Amino acid sequence: MKRMLFNATQQEELRVAIVDGQKLIDIDIETAGREQRKGNIYKGVITRIEPSLEACFVNYGEERHGFLPFKEVARTYFKDGIDVRNASIKDALREGQEIIVQVEKEERGQKGAALTSFISLAGRYLVL
């Protein structure tokens, strides 16, 4: 059974965890003095393609480049003539290519933010 746990014992930090039984599924930490980037949309540039990770790194204006997995790249960004079913990231994308991305997970430690090119706009009465 999945549960959401909140820890707001310290005034400057809020922690939210999703657990399934004894297994931690996701954790999110929000600090009062730090700007949240999750959900923000940026125009970035692909700086490095890593075929071994099936991902690329995107400069979206922050200190650390974001991590964009191949499965999170919309097909509209693929080069013309690429077979979607058999495409590899090296064949489908190129370094220097501009791409619109949204932050899915904040930067943590030495890792950059997790990005997606499937943009989602959520509001009180509408989700796009």
Indicate whether 46 and 24 sit together in one domain: no
Summarize the confidence of residues 30-37 as an average pLDDT. Answer: 72
Indicate whether 72 and 23 sit together in one domain: no
| Contacts with 78 (C-beta within 8 Å, 6 or more apart), sequence order | 84, 87, 92, 93
Q: Does some domain include residue 36?
A: no
pLDDT at 34: 64
Q: Does some domain include residue 126?
A: no
Reduced to 3 states (helix: H, G, I; strand: E, B; else coil), residue 94 is coil
Domain count, the chain: 2
pLDDT at 68: 96
| pLDDT over 80 at 61, yes or no | yes
Only one residue has tokens 């200190």, namely: 63
Q: Does some domain include residue 9?
A: yes
Domain that holds residue 13: 2-31
Share of the chain above pLDDT 90, in %: 52
Q: Are strands 2-10 and 13-20 parallel, antiparallel or unpaired?
A: antiparallel
Q: Does some domain include residue 124?
A: no
